[in-house]
Amino acid sequence: MKIAVAGFQHETNSFAGTVAARGDFDRPGGWPPFCAGEEMMRIISGAGTPASGALAAASRQGVEILPLLWCIGLPSGPVEDAAFEDIADDICTRLRDALELGADALYLDLHGAMATPSWPDAEGELLARLRRIAPAPFPIAASFDLHGNISEAMTRACTLLDCYRTYPHTDLKDTGARVMERLIGHLRGHPAPFVAFRAVPYLASINDQCTFVEPTRGLLAKGEGLEADDRIDSVTQFFGFPLADVADAGPSIVVQGRDGRAVEEAADAMLAAWLEAEPRFATKLLTADEAVAQAIELAAGPGTGPVVIADTQDNPGGGGTGDTTGMLQALIAAKAAGAVLVHIADADACAKAHEAGVGGTIDRAIGAELSKRFCEPVPGPWTVIKLGSGDFTGVGPMYRGNPISLGPVALLEQDGVRVIVAPRKMQASEPGLLLHLGLNPADLPIMVVKSSVHFRGAYQEMARAILPAIAPGAVEADLSRLPYRHAQRKPARPFSPNPKRSNA
């Protein structure tokens, strides 16, 4: 038995004001580089991706793998058409070769929320092209991110599919393994499942999607309950990526199983639960100043661990530029001594800090290079507290074991407020960067992280309190403020009880 394996992931934020070019898939921060063929086997086998779990599962079952290619781009504005065509063509060519070598099936490691200027449903287009090369009933199985904006066309092109069951995502390998095992089971005689698709008729803000809390925790538990029925193979719930102005943006439910009626009934039951849950998608969000004031008060009170402020609107994992300064300005204005912000992307500030050396000073404003439309750089002088190479290994639940290379990083300080600067952006879900600069997160009074939910994987248990907050940035938390033109669904109501806001 031979299974071809390919991966191509991107999460597209239509409002980010940036693009993903072909080069952005070569060395994305925190993830394996673009790789193909035998090199892909070596790199992906040792990584923490869904395809890594799929390869391990195939190996356990003695299945031969035909590696095509694997790549990921960090979330941003649309993938350029040329980049999509280049990578999609490469996958198609390699699939044709694999078929000549006798491939029995194809496993795909996809995100589900990739868009290009020409292809708002980019995975749907990729799957359509692959289907022209390998028409049904050739088995094609795909694992997706839970943030996939799934089209019905996508579900029809796949023989079977599934997505992560966690946000923060800590089950990437498990998901890839589960899909690969179902695919192998199908090749060994388990019939192709009936598939029911339901689009949930509202958008859910990513701040409201954490699976540690309601309503998503209960929705996942209900799905698991339905899966206990042996007529059902899988109850897959996509939460969707709402910062995408595409027709299919939003949550969806895909139920698969061997009994068509049971599959439809389970999909209806799951949709009813989502409709009932709508008013509970409403996380309280604070302004930057409110969050810092509360954090100072909480840090001075009882308890242990840091007060963690989530700078959700500059989450690089949602397409943020990683260089907004609203939270840093709020920390400095409130003289939040001991607070650490993780991190601002500013390559020039890093170079200047390394020139100045530890104990030196740089008189240079930092941040707001890519996010000028939201905020201003924060003026110096900054004292250089610590320097690092920016090369470290992931230790958190999301990036554990992944080699991470940000380039030369620095810890800077002004009036007791500290900020990490790095040449490249990366979501602050990984404690490895703090440890690399001699900081122990557990000892900090206040920490600001550029993340919406993934940081909770590392910090939920350690934190004295978690305060999701909004400073101006590209990852808009209040979906009702976004100028959607193509999305078919409206934000969940009532919307998150946001404070009054003056920023554009």
CB of 161 to Zn ion, least distance (A): 15
Residue 46: count other Cβ atoms within 10 Å of its Cβ: 13
Please give the Cα distance from 490 to 163 (Å, whole number). 23
Question: Which window, 43-51, 146-154, 387-395, 474-482, contacts Zn ion (CB under 5 A)?
Answer: 146-154
Pick between residue 232 and residue 244 the one whose CB is nearest to Zn ion: 244
How many chain residues touch Zn ion (CB under 5 A)?
Answer: 2
Distance between CA atoms of 52 and 174, rounded to whole angstroms? Answer: 9
The residue range among 50-58, 68-76, 141-149, 182-190 that interacts with Zn ion, by the rule CB under 5 A, is 141-149
How far is residue 346's CA from residue 367's CA, in Å, rounded to a whole number? 6
Closest-CA residue to 329 (of 415, 387, 454, 431): 415
User: Is residue 469 a contact partner of residue 310, using CB atoms and an 8 Å limit?
Assistant: yes
Our measurement of the distance from residue 54's CA atom to the centroid of its chain's CA atoms, rounded to an integer in Å, reads 19
Name the one range near Zn ion by CB under 5 A: 48-56, 139-147, 185-193, 339-347: 139-147
Residue 311 interacts with Zn ion (CB under 5 A)?
A: no
Amino acid present at 381: P
Q: Which is nearer to Zn ion, 116 or 429 (CB)?
A: 429
Minimum CB separation of residue 9 from Zn ion in Å reads: 10
Q: Which is nearer to Zn ion, 168 or 472 (CB)?
A: 168
Pairing of strands 403-405, 391-393: antiparallel
Give buried/exposed letters for 340-363 (b at 16+ CB in 10 A, else e).
bbbbbbbeebbbbbbebeeeeebe
Mapped onto helix, strand or coil, the DSSP state of residue 156 is: helix
456 binds Zn ion (CB under 5 A): no
Helix (H) or strand (E) holding 149: none
Minimum Å distance from CB 147 to Zn ion?
A: 4
**Matching residue, tokens 């749907």:** 124
Q: Select 238 or 392, whichever has its Cβ closest to Zn ion.
A: 238
Q: How far is the CB of 397 from Zn ion (least distance, A)?
A: 14
Nearer to Zn ion (CB atom), residue 53 or residue 390: 53
Query: Could you tell me the smallest distance in angstroms from the CB atom of residue 396 to Zn ion?
Result: 15
Instruction: Report the DSSP beta bridge partners of residue 199.
Output: 252
Closer of 145 and 346 to Zn ion (Cβ) = 145
Q: Kindly tell me which of 104 and 145 has the beta carbon lying closer to Zn ion.
A: 145
**Could you tell me which stretch among 72-80, 142-150, 221-229, 407-415 binds Zn ion (CB under 5 A)?**
142-150
Least Å distance, CB 276 to Zn ion, is 24
- To Zn ion, the closest distance from the beta carbon of 146 in angstroms equals 6
Q: Site residues for Zn ion, window 462-501 (CB under 5 A)?
A: none
Residue 398: both structure tokens together: 């999301």
For residue 252, list its beta bridge partners. 199, 238
Looking at the Cβ atoms of 111 and 418, the one nearer to Zn ion is 111
Minimum CB distance to Zn ion, residue 113 (Å): 8
Least Cα distance to 207 among 495, 404, 423 occurs for: 495
Residue at shortest CB range from Zn ion: 147
Nearest to 480 by CA among 202, 147, 113, 148: 202
Q: Token pair of 83, please? A: 């980049």
Whole-angstrom distance, CA of residue 96 vs CA of residue 215:
44
Q: Which range of residues in 93-101, 147-155, 259-267, 482-490 is near Zn ion by CB under 5 A?
A: 147-155
Q: How far is the CB of 74 from Zn ion (least distance, A)?
A: 12
Measured CA to CA, the distance from residue 401 to residue 173 in angstroms comes to 13
Q: Which of residues 147 and 352 has its CB atom nearest to Zn ion in the complex?
A: 147
At its nearest, how many Å lie between Zn ion and the CB of residue 215?
Answer: 18
Residues 35-54 vs Zn ion: string with x where CB under 5 A? --------------------
- What's the min distance (Å) between Cβ of 149 and Zn ion? 11
SS3 480: helix
Give the nearer residue to Zn ion in terms of CB position, either 71 or 291. 71
- Residue number, 108 or 437, with CB nearest to Zn ion: 108
Q: Which residues contact 110 (CB under 8 A, 6 or more apart)?
A: 7, 8, 9, 123, 126, 142, 143, 144, 145, 148
147 near Zn ion, judged by CB under 5 A: yes
Among 24, 121, 125, 145, binds Zn ion (CB under 5 A): 145
For 12, phi then psi, to 5°, come to -100, 120
* Residue 297 near residue 348, CB atoms below 8 Å: no
Binding site for Zn ion (CB under 5 A): 145, 147
